[in-house]
Amino acid sequence: MAKTVNELGRGGQFFAERELGWNRGLIRKGQHELEYSVLTGAAVGMVGDRGFRGSSSLSGMTLLLV
């Protein structure tokens, strides 16, 4: 979505919102993620950096209690 809007050039967000019915907020978020991943080479999302603990970090007893 973000790549398509970027290829449309100036006014691409507005065009995609009006003509394609895409949400402009999601377009901007996608463009930010696209730019950020290109600049840093990082994976989009980076769940581990946000402090999320997956179920693998919990002990077996804790899983039974949940």
Residue 52 in domain: no
pLDDT of residue 55: 59
Tell me the residue length of the chain. 66
**Is residue 59, in this structure, part of any structural domain at all?**
no
Q: Total structural domains in the chain?
A: 1
Q: Could you tell me if residue 6 is inside a domain? A: yes
Question: Using CA atoms, how far apart are residues 6 and 9, in angstroms rounded to an integer?
Answer: 5
pTM for this entry? 0.52
Residue-range definition of the domain harbouring residue 18? 2-47
Residue 56 is assigned to a structural domain of this protein: no
Is residue 60 situated within a structural domain? no
* Residue 9: inside a domain: yes
Distance CA 52, CA 66 (A): 17
Task: Let me know if residue 22 belongs to a domain.
Answer: yes
pLDDT tens digits for 32-54? Answer: 988 887 666 655 455 556 665 66
